[in-house]
Amino acid sequence: MNDEQNGVSLEDAKIAQSEKLFNRGDYEGALELCSEVIALNPDNAAAYNGRALNHSMLGQYEQALENFDRVLELEPNFFNVYVNRGLIYDTIGKHERAIQDFSAAIKLNPDDVRPYFFRGRAFRALEQYRQAFDDFDMAVELEPDFAPAYLQRSIIFGTSGQHQQALMDLKTVIELDPNNAEAYFRRGTTYGNLEEYELALADFDKVIELDPNNAEAYLWRGMTYDYLEEHELALADFDKAIELDPNNAKAYLWRGMTYDDLEECELAIADFDKAIELDPKYTNAYFNRGFDYFILNRYERALQDFSAALKLDPNDGMSYFQRGMVYGALGQYERAIKDFSAAIKIDPQVSESYRYRGIAYSILEQDKRAIKDFDAFIRHNPRYADAYFQRGVCWQRLGDEARAQADFAKAKQLGSK
Give the pLDDT score at 417. 67
Give the pLDDT score at 3. 47
* pLDDT surpasses 80 at 6: no
Residue closest to 236 by CA, chosen among 255, 253, 252: 255
Give bridge partners of residue 5 from the DSSP assignment. 8
Q: Mean pLDDT throughout 222-243?
A: 98
d(CA 303, CA 121): 43
Give the pLDDT score at 29. 96
DSSP state of 297: T
Model confidence pLDDT, tens digit, residues 233-272: 999 999 999 999 999 999 999 999 999 999 999 999 999 9
Q: Mean pLDDT throughout 201-229?
A: 98
pLDDT band at 411 (very low <50, low <70, confident <90, very high): very high
Residue closest to 190 by CA, chosen among 218, 214, 170: 170
Q: Count helices and strands (H / E) in the chain.
A: 24, 0
| DSSP-based three-state secondary structure for 320 | helix
d(CA 417, CA 247): 50
Please name the residue ranges forming H helices in 212-264.
215-227, 231-244, 249-261
**What does the CA dihedral 15, 20, 24, 30 come to, rounded to 10 degrees?**
-20
What lies within 8 Å, CB to CB, of 232 at 6+ separation is none
Cβ-count burial 304-327 (b if 16+ within 10 Å, e if not): bbbebbbebeeebbbbbbbbbbbb
Model confidence pLDDT, tens digit, residues 21-47: 999 999 999 999 999 999 999 999 999
DSSP state of 5: B
Domains of the chain plus CATH, in order, are 349-417 (1.25.40.10)
Q: Mean pLDDT throughout 305-316?
A: 98
Model confidence pLDDT, tens digit, residues 344-378: 999 999 899 999 999 999 999 999 999 999 999 99
Residues 404, 388 contacting (CB under 8 angstroms): no
Average pLDDT, the chain: 96
* pLDDT surpasses 60 at 7: no
Residues 356, 328 contacting (CB under 8 angstroms): yes
Model's pTM, two decimal places? 0.86
DSSP state of 216: H
Model confidence pLDDT, tens digit, residues 388-407: 999 999 999 999 999 999 99
